[in-house]
Structure 1
């Protein structure tokens, strides 16, 4: 599960860090430490050989699935080979660059948020699937989801699922259209950055409110 993430740098910053200095931008989204579903966020992808960073709606449901499948924000790695995700795995692979993401522990009404990030504080390259086309009736037709997998190690104490994160070179390969869907899925399974590369700390419950923003909400708080 990943219900919020920290994307506190500009799209151009992420492009430069990734080496995409020639990227084409269609992104007006500003940095945020609390990106929430139902907002437009910059997603990196390749289109007709062109490196692009486009604002995409975070939430997805295929047009044909309205009334059959709920709108979702994540896609399970172990389900990517099924019919629902097949077209996106083939033509809609993207990367969401970020500084971290949030998970919650505790009982409903008393949930404690945690900020999860790399120990070296490097950029995270979160695997995404998106319909980079247009929509006719509902914005979620042209949205994106983050790919998640089972958590492992100490991260299980925070949540049993986590977004799949790749190193930069593997993230570039994930977006390569010459990679078959089967190869892309196997890459996600085999090359995911391990739990040992991450650390986490408690943050203010202000992050629970969609729209709350600013660097203060990412700062660690005392137990």
Structure 2
């Protein structure tokens, strides 16, 4: 699953890796976002394509339609999201991208759960596949967005059996394109994800478990921490 991640760099750093030129209404902003502990239930910058232009909107990371009588959801499984009654409309018409630098997972080690920070070996940005309720710039806040997850593979499965679906820049743009059919989106989800062998991870401090903590030290390897 994906229950916590980072959005550290500036929006321009993420966009520069995504595409050199794109029609968008996104104003220049060189300031780092600086979120080292993004938690569910908070507003997150969500990249989406509408009206032939890229947009960044602050959208709540959770989804609970009016008829849903359980806790809000934060993830949707790639294996079923395109066909389920709950998620199919979002898959068809509400595909988006979440910028990230890495994500956290917890692994049971002895009598405690040890947090790990997972990121690309080359430290390039991650583009998480997401789905949500359109329009993203005006909505019921209970109906925000979910991050798509896939089965973990290779070494990542030793940390957790699920992982966020991470796209290459090219696949991220095609995923968001309103002209991309639902079946094409499913092909992307299965064929265009960044593979696990491009990821690396290390243990981090237990302090990441407190959503109020937002320090740069949260992502440092434990061996480097004082």
Q: Is the TM value for this pair above 0.5?
A: yes
Distance (Å, rounded) in 2 between the aligned partners of 1:88 and 1:152: 26
Q: Return closer, same or farther for 1:61/1:93 CA change in 2, 3 Å cut-off.
A: same
Number of the residue aligned with 1:159: 160
Number of the residue aligned with 2:96: 94
Deviations 1:13-56 (A, max 9, x none): 32233235653249999430110001101011101112101111
Structure 1: which 4+ aligned runs deviate by more than 4 Å?
26-29
Mapped pair 1:106 → 2:111: no
Instruction: Check whether the contact 2:7–2:33 (CA below 8 A) recurs between aligned residues.
Output: no
Number of the residue aligned with 1:171: 172
Number of the residue aligned with 1:118: 120
Q: How do 1:1-223 and structure 2 match up within 5 A?
A: 1-19=1-19, 22-25=23-26, 30-63=33-66, 65-67=67-69, 69-80=70-81, 81-106=83-108, 110-133=112-135, 134-136=138-140, 139-141=141-143, 143-222=144-223
SS at match of 1:34: strand
Relative to its length, the structure with more helix (as a share) is 1
Structure 1 range deviating more: 88-97 or 127-136: 127-136
Q: CA deviation at 1:211?
A: 1.8
Distance (Å, rounded) in 1 between the aligned partners of 2:110 and 2:91: 34
Structure 2 residues not aligned, in runs of 5+: none
The alignment's TM-score, normalised by the length of structure 1, stands at 0.90
The alignment's TM-score, normalised by the length of structure 2, stands at 0.89
Number of residues paired by the alignment? Answer: 218
Distance (Å, rounded) in 2 between the aligned partners of 1:147 and 1:42: 16
SS at match of 1:162: strand
SS at match of 1:83: coil
Deviations 1:50-88 (A, max 9, x none): 21011110001223x322x54100000011122211111
Q: CA deviation at 1:109?
A: 7.2
Instruction: Check whether the contact 2:22–2:54 (CA below 8 A) recurs between aligned residues.
Output: no
Q: Return closer, same or farther for 1:52/1:107 CA change in 2, 3 Å cut-off.
A: same
Distance (Å, rounded) in 2 between the aligned partners of 1:13 and 1:120: 15
Instruction: Check whether the contact 1:2–1:74 (CA below 8 A) recurs between aligned residues.
Output: yes
Structure 1 range deviating more: 94-103 or 23-32: 23-32
Instruction: Check whether the contact 1:29–1:42 (CA below 8 A) recurs between aligned residues.
Output: no
Structure 1 residues not aligned, in runs of 5+: none
